[in-house]
Structure 1
């Protein structure tokens, strides 16, 4: 019989960078008792993103940050929107280039992630934030 469950994850960031929050998501999925289904994660913010990425080598996360720093630099004079500082509009552009939602299948009661995959919130602002990720599980 098809069931649904939902929750919200609070993810604390320390400023710009990737925050792995795979463990609390996986724990919630296990606790839900679903064997198969589909998990949707949705980030309720416009200056951060969600992604599935390599979770073994921290150089990958650093390289991603360095690439985006080159692609969308803070303080670029092209941008007019600076209400919250020089990282304001670059954070919105970085979000437009990344995703705010993810869909992950469940198989055998577990997230069907690959061996080296983790679920990350990518903070695009320089200062720390508390971010909310809505989760919805559909399955049986």
Structure 2
């Protein structure tokens, strides 16, 4: 591993289409390339309490469909929640975020995330309507060699 020669913050703005899993792997890879990242660690952080991050299979879309269904069964909109000011999908969204992650740390080797063959990084939108979500990347590590 190279000595630490750089760190940077990079912000991504992602438009969701409502409850869904949006693959953001390409955007993260592009940011790493733009900043000349080499070997190190990228932390991916979402600045919201009703959306989250997950690493999931990126090959079969049925996995994402089944995940959405499973989370809806775990935190249904029609449960008797106390917090209802922002609509019936808000409290279930907070529960789903609590069950997943708001940040993920991923090793980076030669400027690329070290993910498994069928893995992708996903923004997990838990609200019913579309939102613009902000994700902050923090990289620390070496610079890409010339």
**TM-score tier (shorter):** over 0.9
Structure 1 distance, partners of 2:93, 2:36, is 37
1:32 is displaced (CA, Å) by 1.8
Higher deviation after alignment, 121-130 or 104-113:
104-113
Q: Does 1:70 align with 2:69?
A: no
What do the CA deviations read for 1:40-70 (whole angstroms, capped 9, x no partner)?
Answer: 0111000011011000100000000010111
Moved over 6 A (4+): none
In the TM superposition, what are the counterparts of 1:2-81 in structure 2 within 5 Å? 2=4, 3-77=6-80, 79-81=81-83
In the TM superposition, what are the counterparts of 1:123-138 in structure 2 within 5 Å? 123-138=125-140
The equivalent residue for 2:115 is 113
Question: Where does the alignment leave 5 or more consecutive residues of structure 2 unmatched?
Answer: none
1:98 is displaced (CA, Å) by 0.6
Size of the alignment, in residue pairs? 139
> Which of 76, 101, 104 in structure 1 is aligned with 2:103?
101
Q: Secondary structure at the match of 1:28?
A: helix
Structure 1 distance, partners of 2:72, 2:111, is 38
What do the CA deviations read for 1:75-95 (whole angstroms, capped 9, x no partner)?
Answer: 211x11011111111111111
TM-score, normalising length from structure 2? 0.92
Q: Secondary structure at the match of 1:119?
A: strand
TM-score, normalising length from structure 1? 0.96
Question: Where does the alignment leave 5 or more consecutive residues of structure 1 unmatched?
Answer: none
Structure 1 distance, partners of 2:99, 2:32, is 28
